[in-house]
Amino acid sequence: MAKADLDWENLGFAYRSLPQRYVSNYANGTWDEGGLTSDSTVAISECAGILQYCQEVFEGLKAYETADGHIVTFRPDLNAARMYDSAAYLEMPSFPKERFLEAVDAVVKANRDYVPPYGTDASLYLRPFIFASGEVIGVKPADEYQFRLFATPVGSYFKGGIKPIRLCVSAFDRAAPHGTGHIKAGLNYAMSLHAYMAAHAAGFDENMFLDAATRTHVEETGGANFLFIKKDGTVVTPKSPSILPSVTRRSLVYIAEHVLGLKVEHRPVAFEELNDFAECGLCGTAAVISPVGSVTHGDQVIAFPSGMEHMGPVLQKLYDTLRGIQLGTVEAPEGWIRKIC
Ligand code: PLP
Ligand code: COI
């Protein structure tokens, strides 16, 4: 099999319809056998729960070609578990975790030619999701659902690649206390779009969302958690019940403590503390680690000492170690890498 003829270095973060995806349908209280299909379209009732009341959850993970030519995924069991929890929270049937992993393997294998070659900065992004396909008109959970998982090759999430980005503190909130911020539901992203467009119109790359109750503590961006580095090299990452538990952040915390021997603080982070940090970055599957150069809050501009040209040295070490684990050049902690072929 030959690799697809794509411009691997300039993919951006965009959707490209690949030959195969996985589909399983839920009806009468059970998921059907499911399988691969070449049909990239979905036909549903105009009254489907997803269209009326946004009953949908999703995940994001990546497959990589390693230095020795294998195709692997990174901690897909954590995505399976998070999707299980997200679905339960939105009163949807959870998709069995073992079947989630089988679907990932099947889609990656079937689209193997589209896994970007080792040595490029690209990877194969996997998007599993469950949506309400059953009809509802009164506000209640549907009784039919579809699990679907497609793949698309992607490059860096932010346009400048790994150049530091500029954030602004959003005038809007992402997640309410006791709301849905901790689950990966499409509705969280729908309501972030107005804030996203406002930030872009004002010349910023992304929003920093503060806690909705007091607007004094840092939460996350629309699609990534925060990492801060203190001047003594300590890693600080915000803790809040309305932040999505990022697989990347949890992995980087482990790497910082157990591989790099750094101190880590996972705790509420007051916005006022930003002045004391040496480095700031976003972390997530799509973002990997994206350095942040500055955060603007009204008239106040916080410019991190790491500057607008490069990632700071501690974030760079975390980035190199994480990428090394994903690409097979750094030994992975037990159970982190799932070899597909
Ligand atoms: N926070 C939000 C709101 C996200 O959408 C994502 C992306 O999945 C993340 C954080 C990062 O999570 P992960 O590292 O599991 O991709
Ligand atoms: C991811 O990092 O996988 C995400 O889902 C973030 C964003 C693209 C929604």
Dump the DSSP string for 203-271. T-SEEEPBPTTTS-BB---SS-EEEEEETTS-EEEE--TTS---HHHHHHHHIIIIIS---EEEE--BG
CATH number, domain of 138, equals: 3.30.470.10
Are the CB atoms for 15 and 152 separated by under 8 Å? Answer: yes
200 and 319 share a domain?
yes
Does any domain span residue 160?
no
Determine the atom of ligand 1 nearest the C-alpha atom of 251.
Answer: 14
Report, as residue numbers or ranges, the catalytic residues.
184
Residue type, 327: L
- Tell me which of 96, 122, 154 is where a domain ends: 154
Cα–Cα distance list, 62 to 122, 146, 159, 308, 311 (Å): 10, 21, 19, 28, 22
Cα 320 to ligand 1 centre (Å): 19
User: Which ligand ends up closest to the CA of 174?
Assistant: 1
Interval 7-34: pLDDT, tens: 999 999 999 999 999 999 999 999 999 9
Does any domain span residue 6?
no
What pLDDT does 159 receive? 78
Cα 28 to ligand 1 centre (Å): 32
What pLDDT does 160 receive? 73
Give me the phi and psi of 60, to 5 degrees please: -145, 125
Cα 102–103–106 angle (5° rounding)? Answer: 85
196 and 310 share a domain?
yes
Domain count, the chain: 2
- Select from 157, 247, 249, 322 the residue to mutate for testing ligand 2; criterion: most ligand atoms less than 8 Å from CB: 157
- Classify residue 131 by burial, with Cβ atoms within 10 Å: 0-12, 13-18, 19+: buried
Domain that holds residue 242: 165-326
Cα 284 to ligand 1 centre (Å): 5
The pTM of this model reads 0.98
Residue 237 and residue 103: Cα distance in Å, rounded? 32
Six-digit token string for 190: 């729908």
What pLDDT does 1 receive? 64
Question: If we measure between CA atoms, which residue out of 75, 71, 161 comes closest to residue 110?
Answer: 71
User: Which ligand ends up closest to the CA of 175?
Assistant: 1
CATH number, domain of 205, equals: 3.20.10.10
Q: In the structure, which protein residues have their CB atom closer than 6 angstroms to any atom of ligand 2? A: 60, 189, 223, 284-286
Does any domain span residue 243?
yes
Residue type, 189: Y
Cα 244 to ligand 1 centre (Å): 6
Interval 83-105: pLDDT, tens: 999 999 999 999 999 999 999 99
Question: If we measure between CA atoms, which residue out of 282, 199, 191 comes closest to residue 238?
Answer: 282
150 and 83 share a domain?
yes
Does any domain span residue 337?
no
Q: In this structure, which residue's CA is closest to atom 4 in ligand 1?
A: 223
Are the CB atoms for 239 and 268 separated by under 8 Å? Answer: yes
143 and 188 share a domain?
no
Which residue numbers in the chain have pLDDT < 50? none
42 and 187 share a domain?
no
Are the CB atoms for 181 and 175 separated by under 8 Å? Answer: yes
What pLDDT does 73 receive? 98
210 and 122 share a domain?
no
